[in-house]
Amino acid sequence: MFEKYPFEKLNELLENISHPNEVISLTIGEPQFETPEFIQKELCKNAKFLNKYAKTSGEEVLKKSQRDFVKRRFNVELDKDELIPTFGTREVLFNFPLFLRPSKTAFPNPFYQIYEGAAIAAGSKINYLELNEKNNFKPSLNQLDGDEDFIILNSPNNPTASVMSLDELCEWVEYALKKDVVVLNDECYSEIYTNNPPPSILEASIKIGNKNFKNVLAINSISKRSSAPGLRSGFIAGDKRILKDYLNFRTYTGCAIPLPLQYAAKLAWDDEKYPAIFREEYKKNFERAEKILGIEIPEATFYIWLKVGDDIDFTKEAYKRGVKVLPGRYMGRNGAGEGYVRIALVYDEEKTKKALNILKEIL
**Which domains does the chain show, CATH number per domain?**
6-34+274-362 (3.90.1150.10), 38-269 (3.40.640.10)
How high is the pLDDT of residue 171?
98
| Span 271-291, average pLDDT | 97
Tell me the residue length of the chain: 363
205 band by pLDDT with thresholds 50, 70 and 90: very high
CB atoms near residue 171 (< 10 Å): 15
The per-residue b/e assignment along 38-59, b for 16 or more CB within 10 angstroms, e otherwise, is ebeebbeebeeeeeeebebebb
Q: What percent of the chain has pLDDT over 90?
A: 97
Residue 151: strand pairing partners? 106, 183
pLDDT value at residue 175? 98
Mean pLDDT in residue range 76-85:
98
Rg (CA), the chain: 20
pLDDT of residue 128: 98
Give residue 1's pLDDT. Answer: 79
Residue 14: C-alpha distances to residues 23, 31, 34, 210, 325 (Å): 12, 23, 29, 49, 11
151 within 8 A of 184, measured Cβ to Cβ: yes
In 187-203, which positions are buried (b, 16+ CB within 10 angstroms) versus exposed (e)? bbbbbbbbeeebbbbbb
Predicted pLDDT at 81: 98
Instruction: Kindly report, residue by residue over 10-36, the tens digit of the pLDDT.
Output: 999 999 999 999 999 999 888 889 999
Helix axis angle, 240-250 to 90-100, nearest 10°: 100
If phi > 0 it is left, if psi is from -120 to 50 it is alpha, else beta; for residue 220 that is beta
Q: What average pLDDT does this structure show over 236-261?
A: 96
Please list the alpha-helical segments (H only) found in the chain: 6-14, 37-45, 60-74, 90-100, 114-121, 166-179, 201-207, 240-250, 259-270, 273-293, 311-320, 349-362
For residues 45 and 67, what is the distance between their CA atoms, to the nearest angstrom? 24
Q: What is the mean pLDDT of the chain?
A: 97
Query: How much is the average pLDDT of 269-273?
Result: 98
Contact yes or no for 237/185 (Cβ under 8 A)? no
Q: What is the pLDDT of residue 13?
A: 97
Model-wide pTM > 0.95 = yes
Please, what is the angle between helix 311-320 and helix 6-14, to 10°?
Answer: 60
Percent of residues, the chain, with pLDDT higher than 70 = 100
Confidence class of residue 287 from pLDDT cuts 50, 70 and 90? very high
pLDDT in tens, 49-64: 999 999 999 999 999 9
